[in-house]
Chains A and B, each alone.
Chain A
């Protein structure tokens, strides 16, 4: 089984757990309107946000995202603190895989923003590796400016869209 195939399975798994990833594809509760949102309804992760080993806990309590400055892929101090928490969680919950999504705000050209998102996602991945998370449990993807979570054309929205989000997936490495 190739890594690509497994990654696809991971994605499929993710797409059945929309409520655990409010960020992905722009909200997860918007009628699945965006490309690739899939049929996300019905299946939820087995445990709730109160369970420290649940993906919900990861997303809500640990913090699933870090934000970046304009046209930058450098981690902020706050971002590093969040990732320290992510690394600890991933080491404790070693059954989970992670996909790190890189995103950009709309102030940039499409293809450059894809590359910028890849750079952001990789910065997070490298940081998590440096904190002990095995590299083979993570994969990166960039959405560039294709998947904003905030829609206004002001810095208050842009700041939230310039992000890297760590998506936790129930899956096992074989």
Chain B
């Protein structure tokens, strides 16, 4: 029995002859906001659809709060709320009617639960109007309300800010952050926007061509920096870095270059000096998530 809110184990998905997802695994803990970053067509949406049971994985398994999505769909899904792509609603009905209809689809949802969700997203005033009269931002709010109706432990959001204006994006982001911190809901959010993930998430997986290329805490990923040293003995310096810090340094333009965490930098410098190297110059260039993303996902071809 694992305690993760969501655990995805080596899932693959083949559609037709093409393998879209080639084996993705990750876990989300309670209250964690987990980002899923990748260029368009990397398989973000497909993975998310498998997690919410819209697609059946070709192999591998997914468990939500310990319940397998394929073997125990009902129990697994009662812990998940989601917005997949657009917040699609019945345009011919009012916001309230939409929520009531979806409320009937879960057990024990009272009118008060519905009103609470409406209040949470700040739609009290327009809830009696037809959805066809709503703006994009309002639809997104109702979308969030329907995802939260049954008090899920996991919120899955697929490209949630697509088509929202800057104000809408900001409000939506704050709402999601509040949910995670106040209600202790775990959130899985996918996006191709780096700033989005950087501002919202605590942990991120970067995926490309159906594979996870890197997973880590956003802070770690952002604070790793590209450092170069100018020392008298480059080969020796390279050896020290490899043996003591397991860092693969490169010799470029008569200087030593490596990517290391900023917290390691002082220790590396001290060792170099202790080993008798003459350290002439050290410079570090902080790498942004954007640069990391671009360097990991470059050479993208449509296959």
Physical interaction between A and B: no
